[in-house]
Amino acid sequence: MSFIEYGDTIKDGDTAIVFLGHESMFPVKVQHGTVTQTKYGVIRHSTDLIGKKYGSKVTCSKGGWVFILHPTPELWTMNLPHRTQILYSTDISIITMMLELKPGSIVCESGTGSGSLSHALIRTVAPTGHLYTVEFHQQRAEKAREEFREHGVDHLVTVTNQDVCKNGFGVSNIADAVFLDIPSPWEAIAHAKSALKAEGGRICSFSPCIEQVQRTCLAMEEYGFTEINTLEILLRVYNVRTISLQIPDLGKAAEDNSGTGFDSSSPSTQGSPGANLQQGTVQFKSGVPLREMVGHTGYLTFATKS
C-alpha cells in the first residue's frame, strides 16, 4: 500500500480509513487476526477487510455498517494522530500552489510535526521529486520516519533530526521550494537561501503571530528575497437547506397581479418542488453559513529568491 500509488484491494499491513460518517472516521492498521471496535460493532480484519476492495461497505457485528476507504493526504490530515498543531487542507492547498510545486520538485520543510503537510508535499512531487524534512524533536522525527515507511512513501522523503536554525537542511542549492513552520523562522532564512537553487526558488513561512511575520519579512529583505507578501486564508462553509418563509401581504393591488407563482391554491403550483407547505408560505433552497467558523489559523509569507 502507498499513499501515492492507489490499489484496489486491502492487504495485511495496510493503513485504511474506517468511514462511519462525514464527521466520524478514523485510521486503522490492517492486521491478520486483529479486530476493531466501532459503535456499530466489531470489524474482524481477517474476514471483513483483508482481500476486500477499498470502498467496500462492511457490515459490523451489531448489524451496522461502515465504508473502508483508501488513505489519501486529505483523509490523513483529518484523521492523523496529533503530535503537534497541524496544517489543514485550506492552508495546504494555497501553499502547494504558491510554491509552484509539481512532480519532480525538490522541497525542504521544517518542522515535520505530525506530518500533515509532509504527506501532501510528497504526493505533489511524486514520483521523481523529493522532500527533505527537518524535525527538532527526536521522538517526533522517529515517529515520522515510521509513518512514512508504513505508508509506502519513505523513498520520497528524508527525515533529519536537527535544529534547522543552527544546522540548516543538510542540502545546498538544490531545492525548488522551502517551507518553514517553526517558532523563529527569521533565524532559518539564511539556511533556506542556501538550500534553494541558484535563482527563482520559492519560500513560505507559516506563523500564527504578526510579530513573527514582521521579523521574518525583515530577514527575507536582508537576504535578498523579492516578491515578499503575506496573506491568511479564511474558510466559510455553507449548508444548503430547504427553508419556508411567509409570503408578505402587499395589499389588494398585489393580489390582483399575483397569478404567477405565489397562489398556493393554483393548480399549476400544486405538487411542484416549491409547492407551499401551508397557506401563505413559500419553500425554497438557501445557503446558510455555519454558526461557528475558524477565524484565524496563521499568516503565510511567501517570497522568491532573486
Decide: pTM greater than 0.75.
yes
Rg (CA), the chain: 26
pLDDT tens-digit profile of 156-178?
999 999 999 999 999 999 999 99
292 annotated to a ligand binding site: no
Average pLDDT on 173-187 reads 98
Q: Which three cell numbers stand for residue 299?
A: 499568516
181 annotated to a ligand binding site: yes
117 annotated to a ligand binding site: yes
pLDDT confidence of residue 6: 87
Q: Would you say residue 134 has pLDDT above 60?
A: yes
91 annotated to a ligand binding site: no
Q: Would you say residue 264 has pLDDT above 50?
A: no
- For cell 532573486, the residue is 306
pLDDT confidence of residue 115: 97
Q: What is the DSSP string of 243-299?
A: EEEEPP---HHHHHT-TTT--TT-TTTTTSTT--SSTTEEEEEEEEE-S-------E
Q: Would you say residue 116 has pLDDT above 50?
A: yes
104 annotated to a ligand binding site: no
What percent of the chain clears pLDDT 90, i.e. is strictly above it?
75
Domains of the chain: 9-71 (3.10.330.20), 75-234+295-305 (3.40.50.150)
135 annotated to a ligand binding site: yes
Task: Output the average pLDDT for the chain.
Answer: 90
pLDDT confidence of residue 196: 98
Find the range with the poorest average confidence among 105-109, 216-220, 277-281.
277-281
pLDDT tens-digit profile of 28-62?
999 999 999 999 999 999 999 999 999 999 999 99
Instruction: Give the C-alpha separation, 130 to 121, whole Å.
Output: 9
CA angle (162, 168, 174) in 5-degree steps: 125
- Sheet containing 57-59, strands listed edge to edge, beginning at the edge strand earlier in sequence: 24-29, 15-21, 65-69, 57-59
For the chain, the 3-state helix, strand and coil shares in percent, each to the nearest 5, are 25, 30, 45
